[in-house]
Amino acid sequence: MTIRRNAQDNVRVAAAWVVERTLSSLAPVDSFLHTVLERYDDRDQGLLREIVFGTLRWLRRIDHVIEAAANRKLTAIEAPLHGVLRVAVYQLLFLDRVPGHAAVNEAVEQAHCLSHRGAASFVNAVLRRIARQPKLEEWPVQEADEARRLAIEMSHPEMLVRKWLDRFGKARTLSMLEANNQPKPLQLLAFRHRGGRELLAEGLIDEGLDVEPSDLSPLGLTVRRGNPLVTRSFERGDFYIQDEISQVAALLRLPRAGERILDVAAAPGGKGFALRAWEPEIRLVMGDLSPARLAVLRANLHRLKLQVPILLADAGEPPWVPRGDFDRVILDLPCSGTGTLRKNPEIRWRLSEKELGRLCDLGLRLLLGSAQAVTPGGLLVAITCSVEAEENEGVIDRFLDQRADFGLLPLEEEVRGNLREFIEAPGRWRILPGGDHDGFTVHVLRRRADSK
């Protein structure tokens, strides 16, 4: 008998493919998701995104349930069935709008196509067992070790949970784990010289979107309903999509007209755009090592109708040696991205101590190179979307050991209003994932005015 597929069934097939390709590669989930999204209408695109991102967020908890229902380790289950089972279990446990029988039947058909009749029967038995108990609390995690139990329950790497418990305590760790498992709303950067976020909000509301001012960025809007990418405002270049804390990180010290600013490792452009959005009269230069990333930056500049000089350059070996020409240099340090696990859930499953060490060494190299562009008395601003100490204060301490002409700038007089509560130490500002925002760490260093 032939089982007829409908559009939603095909979405499940695509979701399983995207999940498994993402997990088996080092590529971002979007690189695979974008190859299949265009096949579907807006409604099914939304379902596909929800299944893919939800499955990746809850992967470890889903695997725990699969192993309990199958009474065997996942490694003992045929690899081609992993994606089929994971996507189906996510629908059974987390999605109310997808009928359980539809998720089970489609998974069984997929298993039959990927393997053999016995595999299809196995998938059918496992999923029907889960469908009879479709609530997480019916599949408890029995682990005496708190970090391991939380890592499974909240679907995070055990290494990361242990680090966070040690550094932040249980309450703040639980808050981060919970935030990372929630969908993240889109946030937009508005430009003051184009009327700011008030005028942008009026235009988007007229086009049927629900938006509201972001809590922490004076230029940010949070989208509650609708797709801003299909609006006339987007076509006109009225906004840039950017997390509100990414905006804040660039604007902790507000730029002034005429200030010479270099944004190194700039592509796709967010930090530089935030600076121009606040003060269009800055003298901004943007650089990056990757020609492909520079092409994305150029496309963004074209849509936003911004004129900015661009350099193809390695921040670790800059072409501006040895003279410091810039009042402020902004550097997005390479990092693990642990502040963005909410919107980049695949990162969780690639973290390792070895990779953290590599990123720290690379970050130090870029920081030392970028420092050469800072004029005496100027600022060097190091930004990461990570909350890990090794990638932030660890790298900064190593930098200061080699560059005695730099010091951390006290931020109490620089940071505005409620942002001051996130100052952790002289020169260091950090906010953990929560609310509508990602987690970021910023260090602001000043070069001594009498340095040569």
Q: How big is the chain, counted in residues? A: 452
Give the pairing type, strands 260-264 and 239-241: unpaired
Range of weakest confidence among 41-55, 144-158, 294-308: 41-55
State residue 38's pLDDT score.
Answer: 87
Grade residue 4 by pLDDT with cuts at 50, 70 and 90: very low
Tell whether the model's pLDDT for residue 399 goes beyond 50: yes
Tell whether the model's pLDDT for residue 28 goes beyond 90: yes
State residue 305's pLDDT score.
Answer: 96
CA 57/CA 69 separation, integer angstroms? 20
How confident is the model over 341-392, as pLDDT tens digits? 999 999 999 999 999 999 999 999 999 999 999 999 999 999 999 999 999 9
Tell whether the model's pLDDT for residue 176 goes beyond 90: yes
CA 79/CA 357 separation, integer angstroms? 31
Q: What's the whole-model pTM score?
A: 0.92
State residue 323's pLDDT score.
Answer: 67
Range of weakest confidence among 167-171, 297-301, 343-347, 414-418: 414-418
State residue 3's pLDDT score.
Answer: 35
Average pLDDT, the chain: 93
Contacts of residue 424, Cβ cutoff 8 Å, sequence gap at least 6: 430
Tell whether the model's pLDDT for residue 6 goes beyond 50: no
CA 65/CA 86 separation, integer angstroms? 10
State residue 320's pLDDT score.
Answer: 67
Tell whether the model's pLDDT for residue 192 goes beyond 90: yes
State residue 5's pLDDT score.
Answer: 45
- Domain 187-241 and domain 245-447, same fold? Reply is no
Mean pLDDT of 170-188: 96
In three-state secondary structure terms, 245 is helix
User: One of 113, 335, 360, 385 is an active-site residue; which one?
Assistant: 385
How confident is the model over 234-283, as pLDDT tens digits? 999 999 999 999 999 999 999 999 999 999 999 999 999 999 999 999 99
Grade residue 2 by pLDDT with cuts at 50, 70 and 90: very low
Q: Looking at domain 245-447, which CATH architecture does it have?
A: 3-Layer(aba) Sandwich (3.40)
What is the per-residue DSSP string for 299-313?
A: HHHHHHT----EEE-
Q: Is 116 exposed, middle or buried (0-12, 13-18, 19+ CB in 10 A)?
A: exposed
**Above pLDDT 70, what percent of the chain?**
97
Q: 226: which 2 tokens?
A: 């609708």
Give the pairing type, strands 260-264 and 283-288: parallel
Grade residue 114 by pLDDT with cuts at 50, 70 and 90: confident
State residue 212's pLDDT score.
Answer: 97
Helix (H) / strand (E) element for 51: namely: helix 42-57
In three-state secondary structure terms, 41 is coil
**Higher-pLDDT residue of 27, 300:** 300
Please indicate whether residue 385 is annotated as part of the active site: yes
- Domain positions in the chain are 7-140, 145-181, 187-241, 245-447
In three-state secondary structure terms, 332 is strand
State residue 130's pLDDT score.
Answer: 97
CA 376/CA 359 separation, integer angstroms? 28
Across the chain, how many H-helices and E-strands are there?
16, 13
Q: 334: which 2 tokens?
A: 């390479």
Contacts of residue 29, Cβ cutoff 8 Å, sequence gap at least 6: 18, 22, 52, 53, 56, 344, 345, 346
Q: CB–CB of 389/167 below 8 Å?
A: yes
Mean pLDDT of 290-294: 94
User: Which residues, listed in sequence order, are joined to residue 447 by a DSSP beta bridge?
Assistant: 406
State residue 26's pLDDT score.
Answer: 81
Range of weakest confidence among 29-43, 285-299, 338-352, 426-440: 29-43
Q: Looking at domain 187-241, which CATH architecture does it have?
A: 2-Layer Sandwich (3.30)
In CATH, 7-140 is 1.10.940.10: yes
CA 452/CA 450 separation, integer angstroms? 7
Q: 317: which 2 tokens?
A: 């070996």
State residue 321's pLDDT score.
Answer: 61
How confident is the model over 39-68, as pLDDT tens digits? 888 888 999 999 999 999 999 999 999 999
Of the candidates 266, 264, 276, the one whose C-alpha atom is nearest the C-alpha of residue 320 is: 264
